[in-house]
């Protein structure tokens, strides 16, 4: 996601902002909100401030973190590790929220039985996050791939990914295939599971897992901060993930 907010805009907006917390305490408050997602009343009690001050702190600090936490990038060098020529994996995950009015239908999907923001995650088979796109919850995986224009990106860069059945029919995404044997499908599933691991790591930050009550714009910035913090963690402590290699003949048949 490209940011349309500059730090100078935020400084001008909050130049008269007064706070009763030190800079370290303010950062601790925001990180605790991201990690544990407690009620704002509990944060107010813990830090000895009013609930309105907690709300102002969150609306002040999360956009700043959103601007400065930029650890997700496409690879700059050719990727040599692959499975059936696929160098990465793709998947969508749901981040639920309270109803929005007006426009609640845009965030609702019947099969999910809730309102949410969709996150499309693309990563390497080693677990390096390459791309995060956020969108309205009513889109399915295939539809959001087209809306995000990542289908054109894959074609332009001749990139092949692994995905689940929701991406069936896309020539640049290898999905489960009933015409293949059990071993091939197992290896396809095992190799694309890395993106599921990333989704789980992100949802360790409870603001990305629990139902979100603030505005959709705040939720999007909060989610991007969580994804970038996970990406930074994976840069420092990469996943110990082994790529399962099928026999060459099975790849050629695909």
**On the CB side of 132, how many CA atoms lie within 13 Å of its CA?**
29
Please choose, from the candidates 40, 37, 91, 68, the residue with its C-alpha nearest in 3D space to the C-alpha of residue 219: 37
Q: What CA–CA distance (Å, rounded) separates 240 from 147?
A: 33
Largest CA distance in the chain: 67
Per-residue pLDDT at 10 exceeds 60: no
Here the tokens at position 1 are 């996601």
Residues 55-73: tens digit of each pLDDT: 999 999 999 999 999 999 9
pLDDT confidence bin for 131, thresholds 50/70/90 = very high
Cβ atoms of 176 and 188 within 8 Å: the answer is yes
Per-residue pLDDT at 116 exceeds 80: yes
User: Of the ranges 12-16, 83-87, 218-222, which is most confident?
Assistant: 218-222
Q: What CA–CA distance (Å, rounded) separates 39 from 68?
A: 26
Q: What CA–CA distance (Å, rounded) separates 25 from 22?
A: 5
pLDDT confidence bin for 244, thresholds 50/70/90 = confident
State mean pLDDT over 154-179. Answer: 94
More confident residue, 254 or 175: 175
More confident residue, 1 or 145: 145
For residue 16, what pLDDT is reported? 46
For residue 242, what pLDDT is reported? 76
State mean pLDDT over 76-102. Answer: 92
């Amino acid at each position: 996601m490209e940011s349309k907010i500059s730090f100078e805009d935020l400084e001008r907006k909050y130049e008269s902002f007064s706070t009763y917390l030190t800079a370290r305490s303010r950062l601790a408050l925001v990180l605790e909100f991201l990690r544990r997602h407690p009620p704002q009343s509990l944060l107010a009690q813990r830090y000895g401030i009013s609930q309105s001050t907690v709300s102002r702190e969150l609306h002040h600090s999360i956009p700043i973190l959103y601007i400065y936490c930029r650890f997700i990038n496409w690879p700059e060098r050719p990727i040599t590790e692959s499975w059936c020529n696929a160098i990465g994996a793709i998947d969508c995950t749901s981040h639920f929220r309270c109803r929005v009015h007006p426009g609640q239908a845009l965030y609702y999907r019947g099969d999910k039985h809730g309102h949410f923001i969709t996150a499309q995650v693309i990563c390497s088979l080693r677990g390096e996050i390459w791309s995060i796109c956020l969108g309205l919850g009513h889109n399915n995986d295939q539809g959001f791939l087209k809306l995000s224009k990542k289908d054109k990106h894959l074609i332009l860069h001749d990139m092949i990914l692994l995905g689940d059945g929701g991406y069936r029919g896309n020539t640049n995404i290898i999905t489960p295939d009933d015409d293949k044997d059990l071993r091939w499908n197992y290896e396809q599933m095992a190799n694309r599971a890395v993106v599921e691991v990333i989704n789980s790591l992100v949802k360790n930050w409870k603001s990305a897992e629990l139902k979100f009550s603030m505005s959709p714009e705040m939720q999007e910035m909060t989610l991007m901060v969580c994804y970038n913090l996970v990406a930074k963690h994976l840069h420092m402590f990469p996943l110990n993930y082994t790529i399962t290699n099928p026999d060459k003949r099975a790849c050629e048949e695909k």
